[in-house]
A and B are shown apart, each in its own frame.
Chain A
Amino acid sequence: KNQVEQSPQSLIILEGKNCTLQCNYTVSPFSNLRWYKQDTGRGPVSLTIMTFSENTKSNGRYTATLDADTKQSSLHITASQLSDSASYICVVSARQAGTALIFGKGTTLSVSS
C-alpha cells in the first residue's frame, strides 16, 4: 500500500535555530516528492519538487533532500523565523495514470521567540 509517514508529528524550536523534518514513503513506482508549507487557515503552498534523479533542492532557507534508495526525504530549515510556524506536508507522486498523489499527515512546526 502506498503510504507517506512524517515525523515528528509536531516540533517546537526557538527562533534562529535549525530543524529537520523527516518523510518516509512506500510509494511505487515513484515519480516525484514535494514539500508543501501550510499556514494556519490557509491552503498549502509548494516549497520544492524533486524527481528521482535529484537528491537535494533548496528554496531560500528551506533545503529538501531525497534518498530514493531508502525512500526517505528530509526538509531542513535554517535560521528559523516566527513566520516558519506552519504545517509542513510531504507529498509523494506515483508514476501511474490518473491522480496519484499521496499526502502525509504533516509536521506542525512552532517557532517561538
Chain B
Amino acid sequence: NAGVTQTPKFRVLKTGQSMTLLCAQDMNHEYMYWYRQDPGMGLRLIHYSVGEGTTAKGEVPDGYNVSRLKKQNFLLGLESAAPSQTSVYFCASSYFGGPGTGELFFGEGSRLTVL
C-alpha cells in the first residue's frame, strides 16, 4: 500500500530552469494538495485540487502551476525557478469532504534547491 508517492525526492536547479514534481496517490482520494515547508514556518498551501480536472490557488501560488489530468496524479510545475523556491515540498491527499474534515495523508516530501 504505497499511499502518497512523490518524485523526485531531491533536485537541484539553477535559477531560471523549469521542473515538475509528480504526486501519485493510490487511495482514490478526491482532494489533493501541494504544500511547501520552510524553516521556522508552518506548512503553506500552494495549490490544491478538489477533483480530476480542477485546480485552485492556495496561500502562496505565485511562481507555480499545477495540473490534475488524472484523479490519482497531481503535478506541480516551476516554470522559471528562483532561489526563493528552495524548500521542501509536500503533496497530500484526503477523502472527499475536503481538508476541513477529512484526514490528510502526506507524501515523504521533495527537497528542492535552486542555486
B17 nearest CB across to chain A (Å): 24
Number of cross-chain contacts by CB at 8 Å: 60
The answer to whether B90 and A43 have CB atoms under 8 Å apart is yes
Instruction: Answer whether A43 and B99 are a contact pair too, CB < 8 Å, given A89-B42, A104-B42.
Output: no
Stretch at the interface among A44-52, A63-71, A75-83: A44-52
Q: Chain B residue with minimal CB distance to A95?
A: B100
Number of interface residues of B (CB under 8 A): 24
With an 8 A cutoff between CB atoms, is A4 at the interface? yes
Q: Are the CB atoms of A45 and B42 closer together than 8 Å? A: no
Q: Binary interface profile of B, 99-115, with partner A (CB < 8 Å = 1, else 0)?
A: 11101111111000000
Q: Do A43 and B41 form a contact, CB below 8 Å, given A31-B101, A93-B100? A: no
Contact with B along A13-43 (1 / 0, CB 8 A): 0000000000000000001101000000111
Chain B residues, Cβ within 8 Å of A95: 100
Instruction: Kindly supply a per-residue 1/0 record for chain B positions 76-100, scoring 1 wherever the CB is within 8 Å of any chain A CB and 0 otherwise.
Output: 0000000000000010100000111
Q: Chain A contacts of B43 at CB under 8 A?
A: 44, 89, 103
A109 at the B interface (CB under 8 A): no
**What are 27 A-B interface contacts by the 8 Å CB criterion?**
A31-B100, A31-B101, A32-B100, A32-B101, A34-B104, A41-B108, A43-B90, A43-B92, A43-B106, A43-B107, A44-B43, A46-B103, A46-B104, A46-B105, A89-B42, A93-B100, A94-B100, A98-B56, A98-B98, A99-B33, A99-B100, A101-B99, A101-B100, A101-B104, A103-B43, A103-B44, A106-B42
Q: Which 10 pairs, one residue from A and one from B, show the smallest C-beta to C-beta distance?
A: A103-B42, A43-B106, A103-B43, A93-B100, A31-B100, A99-B99, A44-B106, A105-B42, A101-B99, A43-B108
